[in-house]
Structure 1
Amino acid sequence: MPSPEQWTRPDPGAGPAATAAQPSPEQVIAGLRATTEGGAELTQLLTPEGERLADSRFDPYLADIDAEALRGLYRDMVLVRRADRESNAMQRQGQLGIWVPLLGQEAAQVGSGRALRPADMAFPSYREHGVAYTRGIDFRDLLGIFRCTDHSGWDPAEYGFHPYTIVIGNQVLNAAGYAMGQKFDGKVGNADDVDNEATIVYFGDGATSQGDVHEGFVWGAVYDAPVVYFCQNNQWAISEPTERQSRLPLYQRARGYGFPGIRVDGNDVLACLAVTRWALDECRHGNGPVLIEAFTYRMDAHTTTDDPTRYRLSDELEAWKLKDPIERVRVHLARAGCAEQDFFDGVDAEADEFAAQLRDFCFNMPDPPPERIFSEVYADTPAALDAQREEYLSYLAGFAGGEH
């Protein structure tokens, strides 16, 4: 009889694994637990207590991360969290139509985002505010999306950051196609590594049950596309836990498509940075796709229309608070003598000022003119859309005052 260990990790040569049709109860339980606990294969470089762990495989990817760089990562996460909390509050005050919180996922987003090069392309879902920040996107440009005044406020080609994608998992197909184009354009496997590029695409654990994600995996695999599939497993697909999405840990799914998968502590900014740098290098050098499962937790609601108290217990939330991604960096900096209290106070003050600027901008954001809804949609506007615009503006002009 195969063991639960073989059921959860049926590595080649590890012995016979149970068939999917005949697992024992113990094997099923072991498999479900492996989807919701980090496990022995969790890559971690900074513990929740702020202890730096050595790792011969990934430490070389952090050779440039000195005390100053680590302070920069801490600052990134604090500012992103403060902006997220302020945006959440503004939605509650009626200034935004909806907000998608990232609370608890700052390390996964900042770490992976800082691993990207300028020529790389990132494809987000709708929660990657931290990645947008690392790509140089003005946080104020994000507010227009959630205030329903804009589609997006940046040029994707300029920033290497695609507009937000609302349809669950659709961005994975888009990213696979873009990465295929990078390969066809000769941007992969060059001796001069400066000319090489890669793509990263973000999605949640719930999206892994979508057909678009499966198809994106297939296309990326068969074309050896330089794409990193970055799954932020925050444990809850809205109200459905991960164990209802997969019997095996999500990173193990990569094996079925023929490319490597790895699970990283998504609350560890150093591990996310190092593992993503490694994965992007694999892609740039022509070694095909990589799946990263960032094992993290959504500390807030799925969106501001969601009530997480209806489907999860408070003790689960309290347990994950002890793994806070920002606090572990703060503790490490303090213990290692890399930062004094003045530094932390200064970052907090900067974060408050950042939030105040966002609030001032949002409260005074002008309503866009009605013709804005028709612009910035197509590179070449179809004649039918031109006609619809003129008809709509003519309709508005017929009201009192004759203005729109």
Structure 2
Amino acid sequence: LYTAEVKAAYRGPLPSSLPPHLYSVGERARRGVWSCNKDQLILLSGESGSGKTEASRLLLHFLTASPAAESPYSVPLHAAHTVLQAFGNAKTRRNDNASRFAKYLDLELDHRGDAIGGSLTCYLLQKNRVSEQSPGERNFHFFYQLLAGADPHTLKCLRLQRSVDHYSILRASRASAADSADDRTHFADTKHALEVLELDAGEQQAVLCVVAAVLKLSNISFAPVNNIDGTEGCALQSEYELREACSLLQCSPDVLSAALRTRSSTVTPAGGGGGSDVESVATELSAEQASRARDLLCQALYARLFAWIINKINIAIKVEGNGRRKVLGLLDVFGFETLDKNGFSQLLINYTTERLAQVTREVTVQQRQEEYMREGLDWSYIDPCSDLLSLQ
């Protein structure tokens, strides 16, 4: 279905004899950029597991292939896709490679319609997955890739054990032998993709250190203690995990320990005039509150790492120089899901999916209504559904 011969058949004017194909969508969008002199957008929508991410990959291969040869700009674009899957996708009960974020790629085309670069924007990373997953699901792929694929020397430098059972945010998902073999292969693919995106050895090591630090931090636990004044505090357990995480992050164990176990607030003494009179007061957290602070720190670290990777991707795929060019957008979003436990982040995901589905319906209905008008047919206007969430 997706051979070079099929690609060639769907490039250029599309004869009516050709059957419907994903490539025909890409070619119509590409030709529409210049024939209509308008930027175009391909919106991929559907339920979770319906194949949106794979369709995005196939479209990217088609749109970055020129009739003569593969475009040199396609290499970093495909590498970016590999890296995004490693750091932004995870196994769910419905899909072994589910996107846990939404991405929009602006693919810039030259006067011939060939891809010459682009820019990437990502939204709604499901960062709470770092700390918790539903039964039968996994964390983000790269955690498992690192443990399965890194050589013993790398694991030793990162102070990591090979087995996922050593890490609280991974042990809930039992990996089969087939999963481990796939993770080893995918780790090599991800590492090569990072090299293609021109991350040097130091930057790649920094990525591994942050991921390893998240694994270490997730193992920190807290025991409840009763303070003299009757309030509940907590004591840090597994201190060696904290020290190893701090070594990876190059920060002070004492500072991080205090940040996890206490909450700082500023107060102005009675009668104080502000300014230098403001004091900082530390309040001890309970064991439950400290655990929550630990989880939020892990999520924030991973989200910042993901954002940094997106920035490096954009540097690698940006268009050099000036010139007349148009944009073909490719939007790949989550599928609608109902989980055992649905939080605010899931609400945002499902709401976004519904809004985009509504856009698709509105465009389809509008096109059909315009066709009715051209044909002179009698028809009744269809009012759009009221959008309660948007209060429209």
Whether the TM-score (by the shorter chain) exceeds 0.5 is: no
| TM-score, with structure 1 as normaliser | 0.22
Bigger-Rg structure (1/2)? 2
- Which structure has the highest strand share of the two? 2
